[in-house]
Amino acid sequence: MPVRPVLPHGTKHQPLFGISAASAALFMAISAQAQSSVTLYGTLDSGVLSMSNYSAGTGYLPTTAHKGSSVKAKDGGLGASNWGLRGTEDLGGGLRANFHLQGNLNATNGGTGGANSSSGTSFFNQLSVVGLSGSFGEVKLGRQFSPAAYAMQYTDARGLRYFGSALTALVGMNTASKAWIGNNSNVAFGTIYNDNAVVYTTPNWNGLKMDFAYAFGEGGGKANSQQSVTALYQNGGFKLSAIYYNGYGNNQANAAAIYGAALGNADAGAAAARAAGFSTTANTNRLYSLGAQYNRGPYTISGQYYAARNPSHVVMPGGSDSLDMWNFGLGWRPVPYLNLSTAYYHVKDNKNAGHKATQFVLGAEYLLSKRTWAYVQGAYVMNDGANMALSPMYASPVAAGKNVHALMVGVRHSF
C-alpha cells in the first residue's frame, strides 16, 4: 500500500550550516506540500509443464542431443514471478522523482534474482531504475526493460507471454545465432533488458509515444554499447509498433566461452574468438520490427515482422547472421472473465538454406478475480535445421531439429 510520510505537527527546526530560520521555514513548507508514495507489489505464477525433446546440451546452444519428454513444476507460465518496490515524489511544478526496483522470484523453490548482462546474477535483475518525469516526458537511468520489449508486447496477440509468444520466437532467433548460451541477458539479437541505460520517453502526441535509449558499455565508448528507438501509436482500437535496435560486442563474451569450452582453455578460447572477428566493438546485433494490432469489442487481431541482423557478419560455425520472423495472432474474450488467444510464429534462417522454425500456440485464461488467473496453454513447434531450437517455453531449451509439443496448466496471482 502507498506510504505517505507526514511531518509531525508542532516540531521546531533549528538552522543548520548557515541556513537562516526563514529559509528553513520555507524549505519545510515546500516539503510539507510535497507528496510521496512507495508501493510494494508482486506476482506469483506457477504451474505444471509437460514438454517433449528437452535439450541435453549446455543452455541455449543448439544440439541434437535430447532428453525426451518430461513433466515438471515450472515457474512463470504466463510471465515471470517477481516482486518489487516503486515510488514517486512530487517535486512541485509538475516535476516528479521516480524509482523502480524489481527482481525475479522462483515460485517453485523460493529462489530470488536472476541473470544480468555480465553472466552474473542480480537481486533486482529486472529493474533498478531512478528518474524524473514531467510535462517533458520521462527520463530513466539504470537497468531496465528495453523499450524494444514493450514494443514487442504492444502488438503481440499473446502479449509476450513466457509460453508461445513473440518472446519465445525471439529467443529462437537468438538460439539460431549459435553465439548465445543463455546465462546472461546480453543476447545476440535485440534484447529484453539493458544495463547502464538512459531512456527518454516522450509525452503522448495525439496517440504517438516514442522511446530513445542508450546503454553504456562497461568499458566506455561504443564497446558493448546499445542503442534503440521505438515508437508506439494508438488510435481507438488500432495500435502500431516500430523498433530499431543496434548493439556492439553482444556475442564476444559468449563466443570466447564457447571456444574456451571446446579447446579446454579460457585463454585459448578468447584468442580463437578474436581470430574469428569477435570483439567488444563488433556490430553484431541489429533488430528491426513493425507490428499492428486491432481490437474491436471482444476480438483482437495482430501481426508483426522482425528482421534480426548481424551487420559485422561475424558468426559461430553453423550459426546465422540473418533471420526473419513473422507472426499472426487472434484473441477472443467471449465474456469478461475468459480470454482466449491463438497465434502462429515463423522464423526463417536466411544464411542456412532450408533452416526454419514454426510455432503454433493456443491459450485460455480464466479470471477467478481481478488478481488471480487460472490458465491452460498448448503449443506445437517444428524445428528444421541444426541451429533451429525454438522452444515454446521460456527458459526451457529444446533440442535442435526436433519437433516439440508442450502443455501447461497453472495459476497466476498478483498482489
Write down the pLDDT at residue 1. 34
Does any domain span residue 120?
no
Nearest to 310 by CA among 319, 300, 297, 318: 319
- How many distinct structural domains can be found in the chain? 1
Q: Which residues pair with 98 in a beta bridge?
A: 88, 131
pLDDT tens for each residue of 172-196: 999 999 999 998 888 999 999 999 9
pLDDT tens for each residue of 102-126: 999 999 999 999 888 878 889 999 9
Q: Which amino acid is at 371?
A: R
Quote the CA–CA distance of 249 and 286 in Å, as a whole number.
11
Does any domain span residue 333?
yes
* CB contact set of 306 (below 8 Å; sequence gap of 6+): 166, 169, 170, 173, 190, 287, 288, 289, 324, 325, 326
Written as nine digits, the cell of 187 is 543476447
DSSP 158-195: TTT-SBSSHHHHHHHHHHHTT---SSSS--SSS-SEEE
Quote the CA–CA distance of 184 and 224 in Å, as a whole number.
14
* CB contact set of 235 (below 8 Å; sequence gap of 6+): 207
Write down the pLDDT at residue 34. 59
Write down the pLDDT at residue 352. 98
* CB contact set of 291 (below 8 Å; sequence gap of 6+): 151, 152, 154, 155, 156, 240, 241, 242, 302, 303, 304, 305
Nearest to 323 by CA among 149, 175, 167: 175
Quote the CA–CA distance of 408 and 376 in Å, as a whole number.
6
CB of 44 within 8 A of CB of 412?
A: yes
Q: What is the pLDDT along the chain (415 residues), one digit of tens a residue?
A: 333 333 333 333 333 333 344 444 434 444 445 589 999 999 999 999 999 999 999 999 999 999 989 999 999 999 999 999 999 999 999 999 999 999 999 999 999 998 888 788 899 999 999 999 999 999 999 999 999 999 999 999 999 999 999 999 999 999 999 999 998 888 999 999 999 999 999 999 999 999 999 999 876 789 999 999 999 999 999 999 999 999 999 999 999 999 999 999 999 999 999 999 999 999 999 999 999 999 999 999 999 999 999 999 999 999 999 999 999 999 999 999 999 999 999 999 999 999 999 999 999 999 999 999 999 999 999 999 999 999 999 999 999 999 999 999 999 999 9
Question: Can you state the angle between helices 252-263 and 266-275, rounded to 10 degrees?
Answer: 130
Question: Can you state the angle between helices 147-154 and 166-176, rounded to 10 degrees?
Answer: 130
Residue 250: which domain range?
47-81+145-192+221-414
Write down the pLDDT at residue 28. 45
Write down the pLDDT at residue 278. 97
Q: Which residues of 331-346 are buried (b: 16+ CB within 10 A; e: fewer)?
A: bebeeeeebebbbebb
Write down the pLDDT at residue 30. 46
Does any domain span residue 319?
yes
* CB contact set of 362 (below 8 Å; sequence gap of 6+): 340, 341, 342, 377, 378, 379
Write down the pLDDT at residue 116. 84
* CB contact set of 9 (below 8 Å; sequence gap of 6+): none
pTM of the model: 0.89
Quote the CA–CA distance of 20 and 304 in Å, as a whole number.
61
Write down the pLDDT at residue 117. 82
* Secondary structure, 3-state, 3-24: CCCCCCCCCCCCCCCCCCHHHH
Does any domain span residue 200?
no
Quote the CA–CA distance of 406 and 402 in Å, as a whole number.
13
* CB contact set of 415 (below 8 Å; sequence gap of 6+): 41, 42, 43, 371
Does any domain span residue 110?
no
CA distances from 69 to 61, 403, 415 (A): 19, 12, 34
Does any domain span residue 122?
no
Q: Which residues pair with 144 in a beta bridge?
A: 194
Write down the pLDDT at residue 15. 31
* CB contact set of 55 (below 8 Å; sequence gap of 6+): 63, 65, 66, 67, 389, 397, 398, 399, 400
CATH code of the domain covering residue 272: 2.40.160.40
Does any domain span residue 207?
no
Does any domain span residue 91?
no
Q: Which amino acid is at 103?
A: G
